Structure 1
Amino acid sequence: MSTSSRAGGVLAATCISTLVVNANTSAVSILLPAISEDTGTSVETLQWAVTGYSLVGAAVIITSGALGDVFGRKRIFQLGLLLFVGSCVLIALASSGGMVIAGRLIQGAAGSTILACGLSLLTVANTGQAQVRAVSLWGAAAAVGAAAGPLLGGFLVGTTGWQGLFWVDAIVAAACMVLTYFTVAESRDPGRSRSIDYAGAGLIALTLAPFILAVSKGSDWGWTSLATIGMLLVSIAAGYGFVLTERRSAVPLLDLQLLRNRVLVGSTVAILIGAGTINALMYVLSLYFQDANGLGFTALEAGVATLPATVGLVVAAPLVPRWAARLGGRQVVGLGFLISAAGFAVIGFAHASWTYGAFVLPLIAIAVGMGMSNGPASAAATASVPANQVGEASGVSNMARYVGAAVATAVAATVYGQVTADRISGGHADSDALASGLAATSWVMAVISAAGVLMAVVMGRRARAARGTLSDAAAAAASGFHTLPTTAATAGDGTPEPHGGR
């Protein structure tokens, strides 16, 4: 097989698998009401199908890349695809909410593995401008998948049932396994230590899981109850254990020295906030749009209703790197968070009398603001470290996305459910109570987004901006889902720029 045809096979396998993973991820919130009705499991419990996915993804995404470097990127990529197929089949055959959640936990590990190892395979299979084009296409596939997921999920709910999405994804992922087997060459990093920081990955999950459980159940248990405080103490202890483990590990999951890098810390927290708030909003709106006491949409109509957010990202993405190059990366990040906060604040005035038209402009504003904050923040994350640490910086920011999505969605679900329940118990109409829950959730996200403006300050003036090339536009489009290196991380001759931004 020729080198060009082999590179083409790698491009096809990685782009298709990335598209499927992101489509699956973005579609699940749309499916939750249908899954709830079919399995008899409350939507509040099924929240773990979303937060659990992100929680496991946060723990696995860096580890899976390390496993690929040591044991073979093709082998681990194939394992990720196999897990993805298995999890899809498990969910499609599920007769209970517990089986759905279990499948989604497995899917979190599978999805992050596919993304991490797929991108590694792609960069190894190409060099020079071919590599830039391939990675740009991969980023575009990630963005297209995320945009298409709610539409595909909504369509399949009305035709095949919610299970249809997972059967389709299983078939496509299985086809990718076959394509990978015949077209992708094995590769690994022979110079890398064979030590894998499994303890670090486990401690990340052990830090996040009790915290999210406390946030989710605190209102039921009581915020000062033994169960809630116990979960928070376990989370704190696990976090402390993670720090100790990373200090002693030969090849740590997170190089704690990176936390001294002001630009990296600021951009990573900005990424966490941006990814968290948009995921939380999509979760809550998916429920509100489909609730009979909300807008009463079908699943397909709810999927279509998310299009303004997609349009906002698509329109903003090609422009954001150029804005950052002209105005400065941190200025665009700060402005992006302000625009997002304003969009959330508008939804914070939601009333039961609102029709869908009232949501359109705020959704566009939130999406545009997210694109403005995430794009330059992702560029700064990989540009703020020496060339040999770009991969680590990218891994840290990608883990932050999963953490943000898990925590913010749990917070949103708790606020939405608690405020709605309190209003109903207070004698308000169900429609008014539901609108109050949505409004309260949006105000929380507005405050979090406004706090993101501080991250632009933390990033400082040394936050380097991309030049605004086509590959930068693709990286900006994908920045809500994965960090890709941009021209901000390269010198004028195209080689990585050795500066630390510390």
Structure 2
Amino acid sequence: MSEAPTQTRATGVLAATCLSTLVVNANTSAVSILLPAISEDTGMGVTTLQWAVTGYSLVGAAVIVTSGSMGDVFGRKRIFQLGLLVFVASCVLIALSSSGGMVIAGRVIQGAAGATILACGLSLLSVANTGSEQLRAVSLWGAAAAVGAALGPLLGGVLVDTTGWQGLFWVDAVVAVLCMVLTYFTVSESRDPNRSRSIDYAGTLLVALTLAPLILALSKGSAWGWASVATIGCFVISVVSGYLFVVIEGRVKVPLLDLALLRNRILVGATIAILIGAGTINGLMYLLSLYFQDPASLGFTPLQAGLATLPATAGLVAIAPLVPRLASRVGGRQVIAAGFLLTAIGFAAVGFVQSDWRYAAFILPLIAIAVGMGLSNGPASSASTACVAENQVGAASGVSNMARYVGAAVATALAATIYGSVIADQTAAGAAKGDALASGLSAASWVMAAISAAGLLMAVVMGRHSTARGTLQDAAAAAAAHTHTLPTSATPVADRAT
């Protein structure tokens, strides 16, 4: 008699968590498309508005692991609902904003909410299902994350053209309220009774204090002067906070980051590879969103710009499910290396951009970048959880998820700084606006190419490692790999034959 209600409840959990991850990832990927429209409405320059992107990722990096820990201790449903409530509040705050500062503040709050929704939503889904049903549910969650990330720019473009940039946040708020209602009626509360109630709040604060001054220095360094007191002071604060983070992590009962994991060469290489992949895709989306919409370059509408990014966003998701089988045949590190090489070539091609380029000239480089990222993301994400013992999989997944946020925050700030400073220098030197924009995009693309090329070294650092077999579950995990680390069929260390 209890089977039907249990099945209904599991379906409700699946609906609430998949819908929430779809809306969070769509929101995250859509915001770059909105920046020119927000800039026009609020009068704040797009270079400053990059904090709406980097601030979100910065806070997400600090909160993603802590929110999961809070769910284990205080109740996963309770913290998930809290995340949804804060997400709704942040959407309303942003939609009602009359200044760029309010938009940035709302996005910073939204970063905490989004990370909480993802961390606790996946936990709720895992405890609500067992065996093959759990694998199916997690795979669907991963597919929803991938679809949301791919559709975000297009959805953002449609809404800007039809409702104004505020429309995205009103829609997101409504969907999040629906998720809250579903969660209230279908999700049972759960905790981890075996987990210590100690939560590393100090580590969370120090992650933010490490990243915020670093990003501020990258954003303002060219204006302040790289040798100025303000710039050097930011770097010093970042270094000191990073050092204190390491000290604290070695002393707290349940650390945000288990420092012992850093002795694992495969995990370190995979984590840096994930950081590079997440950073470069976010940097690319920021650059293209601005360049495609600027009247002095292509002059696209937000909708046209959203459509124009599809070769990068949808292409990445489309190629990723095919990668696990390829990796199982030729080796994970070979696929990762090939992916970063192809990505670097794609960015280098964009580095040759000229002001007279039309959109057709961007298509092949964007496809190369998308395919390259698809090749590198999946195997790196799979390796990060397969290279540790089974009881460390959760911690390793937390490290890689934090790395995504760190990469997105730092690389976007770096891309924005290079793009803006080169444009300013070229304009001051008398260059035409179109030529200055092309020079800015070129310079930033070459830096992204160099960062992608550094990913080749990570394939060497990782060496040989276990790869996924290429199941349907692996395909979903690979598709979601640029947004979240999911378990795969790659054999954990403890399960391998000795």
TM bucket normalised to smaller: over 0.9
Is the 8 Å Cα contact of residues 32 and 53 (structure 2) preserved in structure 1? yes
Is the 8 Å Cα contact of residues 311 and 364 (structure 1) preserved in structure 2? no
> Is 1:274 matched up with 2:277?
yes
Match for residue 493 of structure 1?
none
Match for residue 456 of structure 2?
453
Match for residue 179 of structure 2?
176
Per the TM alignment, residue 101 of structure 1 is displaced from its structure 2 partner at its CA by: 0.3
Per the TM alignment, residue 500 of structure 1 is displaced from its structure 2 partner at its CA by: 12
SS at match of 2:356: coil
SS at match of 1:94: coil
Aligned match of 2:29 in 14, 26, 30? 26
Match for residue 104 of structure 1?
107
Is the 8 Å Cα contact of residues 385 and 498 (structure 1) preserved in structure 2? no
Moved more, 53-62 or 414-423: 414-423
CA distance in 1, matches of 2:156, 2:59: 22
Aligned match of 1:410 in 405, 408, 413? 413
Match for residue 473 of structure 1?
475
Aligned match of 2:485 in 483, 486, 498? 483
Give the structure-1-normalised TM-score: 0.97
Q: How does 1:128-143 map to 2 (within 5 A)?
A: 128-143=131-146
Structure 1: runs of 5+ lacking an equivalent: 491-495
Aligned match of 1:287 in 290, 310, 316? 290
Match for residue 357 of structure 1?
360
CA distance in 1, matches of 2:243, 2:102: 32
Is the 8 Å Cα contact of residues 56 and 108 (structure 1) preserved in structure 2? yes
Per the TM alignment, residue 362 of structure 1 is displaced from its structure 2 partner at its CA by: 0.6
Superimposed CA distance per residue, residues 277-330 of structure 1 (whole angstroms, 9 cap, x where no aligned partner): 010010010000000111100000000001111332233112100110001001
> Is 1:60 matched up with 2:24?
no
> Is 1:166 matched up with 2:198?
no
Per the TM alignment, residue 427 of structure 1 is displaced from its structure 2 partner at its CA by: 1.1
> Is 1:369 matched up with 2:364?
no
SS at match of 1:95: coil
Match for residue 419 of structure 1?
422
> Is 1:260 matched up with 2:263?
yes
CA distance in 1, matches of 2:497, 2:394: 14
CA distance in 2, matches of 1:215, 1:27: 23
Structure 2: runs of 5+ lacking an equivalent: none
Q: How does 1:376-455 map to 2 (within 5 A)?
A: 376-455=379-458
Match for residue 86 of structure 2?
83
SS at match of 1:132: helix
Aligned match of 1:329 in 332, 336, 350? 332
CA distance in 2, matches of 1:432, 1:63: 46
CA distance in 2, matches of 1:265, 1:2: 44
Superimposed CA distance per residue, residues 242-301 of structure 1 (whole angstroms, 9 cap, x where no aligned partner): 000000101000000000000000000000000100100100100000001111000000
Aligned residue type for 2:84: L
CA distance in 2, matches of 1:435, 1:78: 45
CA RMSD of aligned residues (A): 1.1
Is the 8 Å Cα contact of residues 345 and 442 (structure 1) preserved in structure 2? yes
Give the structure-2-normalised TM-score: 0.98
Aligned match of 2:345 in 342, 346, 358? 342
Match for residue 4 of structure 1?
7
SS at match of 1:187: coil
CA distance in 1, matches of 2:176, 2:487: 26
Is the 8 Å Cα contact of residues 377 and 478 (structure 2) preserved in structure 1? yes
Per the TM alignment, residue 499 of structure 1 is displaced from its structure 2 partner at its CA by: 5.8
Aligned match of 1:241 in 222, 240, 244? 244
Q: How does 1:305-316 map to 2 (within 5 A)?
A: 305-316=308-319
Aligned residue type for 1:360: I
Per the TM alignment, residue 398 of structure 1 is displaced from its structure 2 partner at its CA by: 0.3
SS at match of 2:490: helix
Identity level (%): 76
Aligned residue type for 1:212: I
Aligned residue type for 2:122: L
